[in-house]
Amino acid sequence: MDTLTWISAAVALASAATTVLLGYWQQRRIAAVERHNYMDRYGASLAWAAFDLQSRLFNILGGKYLPRFLVQGTPEEAELVRRSTVFVIAEYLGWVEILRRDVQFLDLGSSGSNRRVMTQLSEIAETFNRSPDRHDELRLFRIQQRAIGSVMIHPDGEPGRRRCLDYAEFCERLDTDSRFAAWFTELLADVDAIGTDMSPAQQRLRSLQRQLVKLINLLDPDAVRFPQFHRQVHTP
């Protein structure tokens, strides 16, 4: 091979390597943008779901909410409170599962904020899973959390455009789909039990409420969506 031919081959090889390298970094950049968009879009929905759940827990921990409506209220009020309490739990788990599927927790890059969100979600999941002093009210094993999250995802969604069932859709499925309703039978019964005696579940509910507020602080650090005065942590 003469010198000119060798140089031409080397240039062609270098050009091919450069093209491959540029293609690789282009794909990495696109993937990073997609992850960022998903985190922005889904993170906002997750923050709202976390806010609704922690608000309900805050009211329950106050000690008057469930007795007033669930025990002393009309049958319609009792059913609304029972179902809506289970719904805010299920909706939160639904958005966690959506985020898990579309953002891929194991491929979130080196973002410190993403890692902190992941850690906080894991802590909340562990609190749902833990059973202090053998009291199981509102206890959900991790596999149950994922299963409930899965059935809460609207079937017509696709990656990047998923959403959870809304409250009306949730109630309709409870009434018409026995397989769907079976995932919530124990949770509905737990709400009834807590309405009568909250003390067995108090530790779990207080831990969940605090951890959800911490998650909201991570997802909305500048208090754009939720003013600080709406992030009160319940104290005994």
Q: What pLDDT does residue 160 have?
A: 73
> Contact at 8 Å (CB) between 127 and 211?
yes
In this predicted model, what pLDDT tens digit does every residue of 45-101 receive, in sequence order? Answer: 999 999 999 999 999 999 899 999 998 999 999 999 999 999 999 999 999 999 888
Angstrom distances, CA of residue 116 to CA of 4, 19, 94, 173, 215: 56, 36, 20, 34, 9
Lowest mean pLDDT among 11-20, 119-128, 129-138: 11-20
Question: Does residue 162 register a pLDDT over 50?
Answer: yes
**pTM exceeding the 0.85 threshold for the entire prediction:** no
* Mean pLDDT, the chain, whole residue set: 82
Strand partners, 153: 164
Question: Does residue 170 register a pLDDT over 80?
Answer: yes
Question: Does residue 233 register a pLDDT over 90?
Answer: no
Helical ranges in the chain per DSSP H: 3-61, 65-66, 75-103, 112-129, 142-151, 167-176, 178-182, 185-196, 202-219
In this predicted model, what pLDDT tens digit does every residue of 214-223 receive, in sequence order? Answer: 999 998 887 7
Burial class (CB in 10 A: 0-12, 13-18, 19+), 93: buried
When comparing pLDDT for 150 and 230, which is higher?
Answer: 150
Q: Which amino acid is at 84?
A: S
Displacement of CA 109 from its chain's centroid (Å):
19
Q: What pLDDT does residue 148 have?
A: 98
Which residues does 147 contact at the CB level (< 8 Å), separation at least 6? 183
Segment 117-141 shows an average pLDDT of 86
Question: Does residue 107 register a pLDDT over 90?
Answer: no
Question: Does residue 133 register a pLDDT over 80?
Answer: no
Q: What pLDDT does residue 214 have?
A: 94
Lowest mean pLDDT among 102-111, 114-123, 168-177: 102-111
When comparing pLDDT for 24 and 67, which is higher?
Answer: 67
